[in-house]
Amino acid sequence: MTIRSYEDAHGDNTLEADVVIVGSGPGGAAAARVLAEAGRSVIVVEEGPAQSRFRPNQAHTMRYHMQEGGSMIALGTAAVTVAAGRGVGGGSLINSAMCWRTPDHVLESWTEVLGGDDRFRPDHMAPVYDEIEEIIEVVMTSETIAGENNMIIARGAAALGLEGGLLRRNTPRCQGCGICNFGCPTGGKASVDRNLLPMARAAGAVIQADTKVLDILVEDDRVAGIRGSVRHPDSGEEVGRLTVFAKDVVVSAGAVGTPRLLLQAGLGDRLGPAVGKGLHLHPGNGVFGYREEPVHMWLGATQGAYFEDPDLPDALPHTLSLPPGALLLALGKTGLEAKAQLDLLPHLAGCLVMVSDKGEGTVGVTSEGTAELSYYFADQDLQTMKAGLKRTCDVLLAGGCTRLLVPLAGSEWVDTAEEAYALIENADWTDYKLLYAAHPMATCRMGTDPSTSVIKPSGEAHGLPGLHIMDSSVFPTSLGVNPQLTTMVMATILARGLAAS
């Protein structure tokens, strides 16, 4: 069955299914595949476009493939840009494809809060990781397409005796275009629109794109379905309405989209005080290095290398790759000063330090239905960030760079790690111009206590039978690694539980 777009849903549309899933990203796709293959009739409703609209252009990607046009900002200690994907395939369309398994110590820390549920023990999750990795074709980044930007990090880590190097990504046919975050133009990335969703469709699932879910229906103290608005992907004009009646509703709209929808639907009081609370972001900031030989950071695998320092377990430094326009902005120059930087661009390497944050925030909803985000950093996270940036300076220099730029307020190029250390040490969060987060999570947490969690370990809401959540919002804590793989694994486990009920 083909994917339905706005053209297939003009006027009033009423459908029925066993399960309706809101969102077609990693969580929704994994759930749809399991439930459809188990014989359930499944309808997946996706806000974004039916077909990818990829262009190597940041503004275009923000318009079509990022929630709220890429304009979401969390305000609090500092302003943090928060990215979340949309479209059939969700965030997997525009992420950098890194595939990390959540460390065992993190999963083990969930045991008590999840009531000792054996399904989430590391040894029980490992076979599901194996299964999903095979489906989405996770492979090691090859040196032949890695590009110099990644190889600088890999060489630097090796020179300093640090664990790291090239990493695993779901890019089995990667051509090294360097624009994964704009969408893969060659089909080299195995995003979920190329595997889990086709598997779900082959088992009978229907995908309705271009449809923003606005309400969750409740009858006799149980969910009864959803209502949504079908919109033209270019103009945003409403062309139809969709009602899906279903016994079970699975919300997989992401750690921003899910609480935003639940609150907009007026379910906050019923579901308890934890809806939208406990937002983690994995905030990141970077360092640039200058190398005499050309680097062209925008060529090669996007974010294909990393390193780890045993003294910094909550920091995960990995390659920072930006196209020339975005790179110029990141240097913090404008006008004639920016023009003077143009000759530098081909020689720059970048490394981002991502923090497994202890700070938290919230997701709310405005009267217009947009997300209202707050986030407050823990001092521990600032210290982790500073230590990670200092170690990153060492790695860039060891990898072949000769000068460093830490994009803090008033900073300039420096020649030694010690000079960079001083800039880093004197900074606070308001100085971090590159502060960015693309891993929102933990806003509808799983647990046994309704006062601190939204769903049970089964995936069903504490306060509303038939409502299930299967996305990154269910994590009890920050993961410390990119979440897409664990999102698919968790959704697979939860969907199997629903299918068996």
Mean pLDDT of the chain: 94
Which of 56, 292, 290, 277 is CA-nearest to residue 181? 56
Question: What is the residue-wise DSSP string for 144-213?
Answer: HHH-HHHHHHHHHHHHTT-EEEE-EES-TT----S-GGG--SSS-S--GGGTHHHHHHHTT-EEE-SEEE
Strands 80-82 and 436-437, sheet pairing: parallel
Q: How far apart are CA 20 and CA 103, in angstroms?
A: 32
Retrieve residue 208's tokens. 């309705």
Kindly list the domain boundaries of the chain, sorted by start residue: 6-66+85-137+184-275+441-500, 139-181+280-437
Q: What percent of the chain has pLDDT over 90?
A: 84
Which of 71, 460, 452 is CA-nearest to residue 256? 71
Class level of CATH domain 6-66+85-137+184-275+441-500: alpha beta
Q: How far apart are CA 258 and CA 274, in angstroms?
A: 13
Mean pLDDT per 10-residue interval, the chain, length 501 residues: 89 98 98 98 96 79 90 91 94 95 96 91 97 98 97 98 97 93 90 97 97 97 97 95 98 98 97 97 94 96 96 96 84 79 94 96 96 95 95 98 87 92 87 83 97 97 97 97 98 98 92
DSSP label at 477? S
**This model's pTM is above 0.85:** yes
Q: What is the pLDDT of residues 64-121, one digit of tens each?
A: 899 999 889 999 998 899 999 999 999 999 999 999 999 999 999 998 899 999 999 9
Which of 264, 314, 253, 284 is CA-nearest to residue 444? 253
Q: How far is CA 386 from CA 196, 265, 354, 403, 424, in A?
A: 39, 41, 11, 18, 6
- Please tell me if the domain spanning 6-66+85-137+184-275+441-500 has the same topology as the one spanning 139-181+280-437: no
Q: How far is CA 219 from CA 40, 245, 260, 292, in A?
A: 21, 11, 21, 67
- 139-181+280-437 maps to CATH 3.30.410: yes
Say what angle helices 122-135 and 484-500 make with each other, to 10 degrees: 110
Cα 372–chain centre separation: 18
Q: How far is CA 335 from CA 325, 328, 348, 413, in A?
A: 13, 11, 20, 19
